[in-house]
Structure 1
Amino acid sequence: MKMKHIITACAMAISLGSGVMALGKEAYAAASLTPAQQGWVHKIESSLKATKTFQARFEQLSEQNGTATGTVLLERPGQMRFSYDPPSPLLLVANEGKVVFQDRSIGQVTTIPLEHTPLGLLLRPDPRFSGDVTILDYEQRGNEIRLRVTRTENPSEGEMTLYFAAQPLTLKGWTVLDAQSHKTVVHFTNIRTGMPIAAGQFTLPKEDD
């Protein structure tokens, strides 16, 4: 399997700059939001900005690679770590403007710019869903809000749907659909925020680690 597909399926750090499909702009029309929906979007932006640290268990589902579990750590801005449970050899760390994906089973490390991945939307200093990000759809059912977004300038490169609990307002997971229509879903449980994170958790892996 090509490394970009491994990253998509196992790490949510898809390289959105390659292999795009030739879809028309009409497929990516911006959603027309009501004032109430716009209000929720602003609340989500504020909540993400206020979340300085985040820890959770994750379950990852991909069409190509099945199910994986592990622990995610986030420290804003710019830092995230996906530690996969054994026997998985995978590790993903975002830091220093990069996303580094390590497969210990083959001693391989792949690095891509953070802003070329969906994680860049969440880890930026001022999260926003306007300007260089376009909202494609907003849906609220009961206590769940779904926000489907894409990059404004290159919508055919992929899209991301974020899932939030409305009360209390909490990020619960996401789905990424890449340019080749490969889908990866991540769900969070046992969520904690605002706690200290030990030094060294976001050290970027190297090939000899």
Structure 2
Amino acid sequence: MRRRHLLSSLALLTPALLAPGGPALAQAALSARDRADLQRVEAYLNGLTTLRARFIQIAQNGATAQGTALIWRPGRMRFDYDPPEPLMLIANNGQFLHYDKELRQPSIVPVGSTPLGILLRDRITLSGDVTVTGLQREQGLLRVTLFRTSSPGEGRLTLVFANDPLELRQWLVVDGQGRTTRVTLSAIETGVRLDRASFDFNDPRFLRGPVDNN
């Protein structure tokens, strides 16, 4: 995939220009099952420390890329794209870095200004400063759509879980113009040991692939 096509799909980092559409789910409208499922999602995400997986990213225009994803909660995330894509994404120290290894050109935004920042919080609560706009169950999957209450213009994040047992399988980010970036996970491993240096973009070693200390 040509790099310009992939860059156009980086809505997962770029704040949206318009507020997400659709009303929020009123707490009074939530059924007991809805509340129970949201509590399960909160417990799962807050219990998630490390994750390693393969990913496939699909942009609004159909362009695709794949690679390896690492998450180390709270605060750390890394996406290494397979060749020929020279791109890498790293979240650490409150910043999200998008780096082009060929051009050696970084672009940095605050983690808190991106929809994915919600996943990296120390404590995830799906109420209050996070507004849930949708909860769907279909074909063994549970979908939860949300945004930061104080900054709806950043866009919407939909988390897709396998329902039994609960496991994060996919997320979608929708920007203010309705463009969707979809990331699907496979070969998921949780509770793995990761190298802290893999998330350090001030160290020259960050240009290499992720390292496992096992």
Task: Give the alignment's TM-score, normalised by structure 2.
Answer: 0.85
Which residue is 2:22 aligned to? 28
Tell me how far apart the structure 2 counterparts of residues 33 and 190 of structure 1 sit (CA, whole Å).
33
TM-superposed CA distance for 1:54, in Å, is: 0.5
Structure 1 segment 1-209 matched on structure 2, within 5 A: 9-10=9-10, 12-16=12-16, 20-21=17-18, 27-31=21-25, 32-64=29-61, 66-204=63-201
CA RMSD of aligned residues (A): 2.4
SS class of match (1:43): helix
Contact 1:8 1:184 in 2 (8 A): no
Deviates most, 177-186 or 109-118: 177-186
Instruction: Please tell me whether the aligned partners of residues 11 and 175 of structure 2 are also in contact (alpha carbons under 8 angstroms).
Output: no
Per-residue Cα deviation, 1:146-180 (whole angstroms, up to 9, x for no partner):
01111212324311111001111110011101123
Structure 1 regions of 5+ residues with no counterpart?
none
SS of alignment partner, residue 200 of structure 1: helix
Q: Gaps spanning 5+ residues in structure 2: where?
A: 208-214
8 Å CA contact 2:18–2:175 kept in 1: the answer is no
Higher mean displacement: 33-42 or 153-162: 153-162
Distance 1:165 1:180, change over 3 A: same
Quickly say closer, same or farther: Cα 1:77–1:145, change in 2 above 3 A. same
Please state how far the C-alpha of 1:132 moved relative to its aligned partner: 1.2
Question: How many equivalent residue pairs?
Answer: 200
Q: Deviations over 1:65-111 (max 9, x none)?
A: 60000000011100000000011000000000000000123221001
